[in-house]
């Protein structure tokens, strides 16, 4: 006779423990941790390259990629402490990997930790890293249909960034349809339009990061 | 394609549970998977069949209960189920809505064969 064993436990229970460890650590240290999620080529690393030198806060970066340390090398040029995670084929970061990487982050001396997830709109949205919130990054050349096609990410993200708006004149992209769909999925999201090469939209984002940091520190 | 990571986590959890038990084999595994988790059941089963070879749960039947979305408006109390998640109440347009069902990813229960029939 087979025996029935009741479990009723999350499949990801082990990783969720790492995520809650990280979340309480960030809370205790007063660090704003942003999990940046977007397609390959959406401009996540370029955004950080332009943002970090202008941000008057102490930052660190964890870079998640399938292979290479190219992104970490680009961030290191800005003088920001950076740790590269290679997932060796994995399509997303998991909390256990981030927890290991945190050993090399000067957590007591930073205000903001950016985690650049593996370029992918699907899988990274499903794994809690213990972040303060998720940030969705979508670029104009990807098309205006991304929010409805990848609802999980756009629903969860506290902030949605539309990047590369400088190419709008050359590409068929319905800007109001994009934002209308974001609004449907996530009416409370903070919304930003950026063209970071020209520096457009960076000041708004910097102001928001300062506000989010004040929020979590309760002042 | 995060199904393989989920299968790995599932198998680790079951193998850990089996350490102190007298299980001959795990024959059935039942999961709850919410519609918002972006999991393709057939891919999950395929990954499981590949990864479980040579383990205590080789040949186990993986049963997936798919849980549809259920959303509740906290303003007017309206409950609805949609194919796609929308963050606004279709009745009163409030954005104060909550996803009640759809984010599940739960190992509900297992069926196991015991090594020795118990003699009382």
Q: What is the per-residue DSSP string for A108-119?
A: GG-SEEEEE--S
Residues of B in contact with A5 (CB under 8 A): 17, 109-112
> Largest alpha-carbon pair distance within chain A?
70
Average pLDDT of the segment spanning A46-58: 98
CATH of domain A13-212: 3.40.50.300
In a domain, B77, yes or no: no
Q: What is the ipTM of this complex?
A: 0.85
Are B35 and B66 in contact, with CB atoms under 8 Å apart? yes
Specify if B16 maps to a domain. yes
Query: Cα-flanking dihedrals φ and ψ of residue A163, to 5°?
Result: -105, 165
**Among residues of chain B, what percentage have pLDDT more than 90?**
76
Beta strands in A92-211 (DSSP E): 112-116, 133-139, 159-163, 190-193
Residue B92 belongs to a domain: no
pLDDT digits (tens, 9 = 90+) for A178-190: 999 999 899 999 9
CA–CA distance, A146 with A165 (Å, rounded to integer):
15
Structural domain boundaries enclosing B29: 3-68+102-114
**Of B38, B107, B112, which has the smallest distance from its Cβ to A9's Cβ?**
B107
- The reply to whether B75 falls in a domain is no
Q: In sequence order, which residues have a C-beta less than 8 Å from that of residue B33 and are 6 or more positions away?
A: B39, B41, B44, B64, B65, B66, B67, B104, B105
Residue A2 CA, chain-centre distance (Å), reads: 45
Global pTM reads: 0.91
Residue from A11, A160, A182 whose CB has the most chain B CBs within 10 Å, to mutate: A11
Rounded to a whole number of angstroms, the distance from the CA of A2 to the nearest CA of chain B is: 5
> pLDDT exceeding 90 applies to what percent of chain A?
94
- A2 inside 8 A of chain B by CB: yes
CATH of the domain at B16: 3.30.2320.50
B38 closest CB neighbour out of A14, A90, A122:
A122
Number of domains in chain B: 1
Is B30 part of any domain?
yes
Q: Does A151 touch chain B (CB under 8 A)?
A: yes
Asked if A145 reaches chain B (Cβ–Cβ under 8 Å), the answer is no
Residue B50, chain A, CB below 8 Å: the answer is: no
Tell me the per-residue pLDDT of A80-102, one tens digit each, with 9 for 90 and over: 999 999 998 889 999 999 999 99
Adjacent-strand bridge partners of B20: none
pLDDT tens digit sequence for A112-161: 999 999 999 999 999 999 999 999 999 999 999 999 999 899 999 999 99
Q: Does A92 touch chain B (CB under 8 A)?
A: yes
């Amino acid at each position: 006779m087979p025996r029935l064993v009741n479990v009723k436990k999350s499949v990801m229970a082990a990783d969720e423990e790492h995520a809650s460890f990280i979340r309480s650590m960030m809370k205790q240290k007063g660090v704003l941790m942003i999990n940046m999620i977007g397609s390959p080529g959406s401009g996540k690393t370029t955004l950080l390259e332009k943002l970090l030198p202008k941000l008057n806060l102490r930052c660190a970066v964890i870079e998640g990629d399938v292979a290479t340390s190219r992104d970490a090398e680009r961030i290191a040029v800005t003088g920001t402490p950076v740790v590269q995670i290679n997932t060796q084929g994995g399509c997303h970061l998991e909390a256990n990997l981030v927890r290991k990487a945190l050993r090399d982050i000067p957590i007591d001396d930073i205000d903001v930790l950016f985690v650049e997830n593996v370029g992918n709109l699907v899988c990274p949205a499903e794994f809690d890293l213990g972040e303060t919130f998720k940030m969705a990054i979508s670029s104009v050349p990807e098309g205006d249909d991304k929010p409805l096609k990848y609802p999980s990410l756009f629903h969860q993200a506290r902030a949605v960034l539309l990047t590369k708006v400088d190419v709008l004149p050359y590409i068929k992209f319905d800007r109001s349809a994009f934002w209308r769909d974001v609004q449907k999925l996530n009416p409370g999201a903070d919304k930003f339009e950026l063209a970071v090469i020209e520096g457009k939209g960076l000041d708004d984002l910097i102001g928001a990061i300062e506000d989010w940091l004040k929020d979590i520190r309760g002042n | 394609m995060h199904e393989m990571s989920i299968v790995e986590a599932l198998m680790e959890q079951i193998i850990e549970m089996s350490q102190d038990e007298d299980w001959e084999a795990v024959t059935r595994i039942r999961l709850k998977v919410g519609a918002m988790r972006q999991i393709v059941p057939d891919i999950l089963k395929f990954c499981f069949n590949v990864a479980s070879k040579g383990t205590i749960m080789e040949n186990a039947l993986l049963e997936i209960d798919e849980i549809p979305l259920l959303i509740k408006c906290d303003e007017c109390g309206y409950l609805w189920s949609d194919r796609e998640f929308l963050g606004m109440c279709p009745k009163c347009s409030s954005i104060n809505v909550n996803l009640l069902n759809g984010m599940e990813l739960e190992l509900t229960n297992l069926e196991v064969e015991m090594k020795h029939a118990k003699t009382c």
